[in-house]
Homo-oligomer: A and B are copies of this chain.
């Protein structure tokens, strides 16, 4: 990867900034020596003279000591700590989902740990806006991007090309046509775990899965995991997957529109009766809360168990939290944290990582 020759910061400044960050991150420790001019100039793809210039600059700032004939020694880490690199975080969610605020918060924290800056932008689910934001970041000296792509993102080729100018790490979803490092949650394994727990450990008779009808890899993998595991246990006949427009339903709830609730209550009640289900798994807690728990459906079906997935925060009602829903945790903080690590390493070491990280989805354990 070459230095960013398109932006307005002189190459020599960029090298200085990079070396400072390496000291700050402990790539070079206090008291140790820097690699030779030759090695560094090769690594940065610039002349040794330019690296020398940067080193003299850092010497005058008290970070390095040039010992003629003995190389360059790192003097103190302190002065490197205040240098911030700006990173961009692009995600597709919009106003009415409090979820957006939560994930921005995680991104803020994880870059703050290294005294870097995180600039959040929402693509608002639009492919064109995604491209505009990436270009805007590049033009304004942003050094790396975490991208949470939109559904069925068509920008694969664009990101692939862009990644030669600016490091991009994907989170939550892959994008067709873009071979970029990524961090996703392992929803396939989560699906297996849900089936193992409900049909195996709890030995439920029949499991009804209520899935959103949004076609994203997350949902597809989850269902595949469920099916494979049920099949392996010889319980395929005891698993029913039903697709419903659940996200649409939840968006209505969030603006106080309860007009669909009664319809879903009837639908679910009929399903349970006709199918003899003793467990319902729906990854979206809001659906279980408003359609099953709030209307006290457990009084009609006392043996009914509920299972869901949850963010790291307990934001549901008291009644929901006391129901004892079995939950698996979407570990978004861990996902974003891993992506930020990969991205910051990429920017600092100037070497494209090849990682595709899968974050395990664990069952939630009450801390009480």
Interface residue ranges, A against B (CB under 8 Å): 8, 13, 82-84, 86, 95-96, 98, 100-105, 108-109, 112, 115, 117-122, 135-136, 139-140, 142, 253-256, 258, 261, 289-290, 294, 313-315, 317-319, 321-322, 366, 368
Contact = CB atoms under 8 A, between A and B. Distances in A.
Nearest to A102: B101
A336 B109 CA distance: 21
A313 B109 CA distance: 24
Contacts of A8: 13
Contacts of A108: 104, 120-122
Contact of A83 (B82, B96, B104, B140): B140
Contacts of A120: 104, 108, 118, 120
Nearest to A314: B256
Given A100-B101, A115-B136, A258 B318 contact: yes
A238 B84 CA distance: 56
A117 to B, nearest CB: 5
Contacts of A368: 256
Contact of A290 (B119, B136, B318): B318
B100 A105 contact: yes
Contacts of A100: 101, 105
Nearest to A84: B140
Contacts of A96: 313
A318 B292 CA distance: 13
A102 B315 CA distance: 14
Contact of A101 (B105, B115, B119): B105
Contact of A256 (B84, B109, B118, B321): B321
A104 B322 CA distance: 31
B322 A258 contact: yes
A139 B254 CA distance: 41
A84 B13 contact: no
A87 to B, nearest CB: 10
Contacts of A256: 314, 321, 366, 368
Contacts of A319: 294
A86 B318 contact: no
Nearest to A8: B13
B261 A318 contact: yes
A142 B261 CA distance: 48
A315 B117 contact: no
A4 to B, nearest CB: 15
Contacts of A318: 253, 258, 261, 290, 294
A361 to B, nearest CB: 20
What are the nearest 10 A-B pairs in CB distance? A101-B101, A84-B140, A117-B119, A256-B314, A101-B105, A317-B317, A101-B102, A82-B139, A108-B120, A256-B321
A119 B253 CA distance: 31
A259 to B, nearest CB: 10
Contacts of A255: 314
Nearest to A294: B318
Most chain B CB atoms below 10 A, which of A294, A315, A317: A317
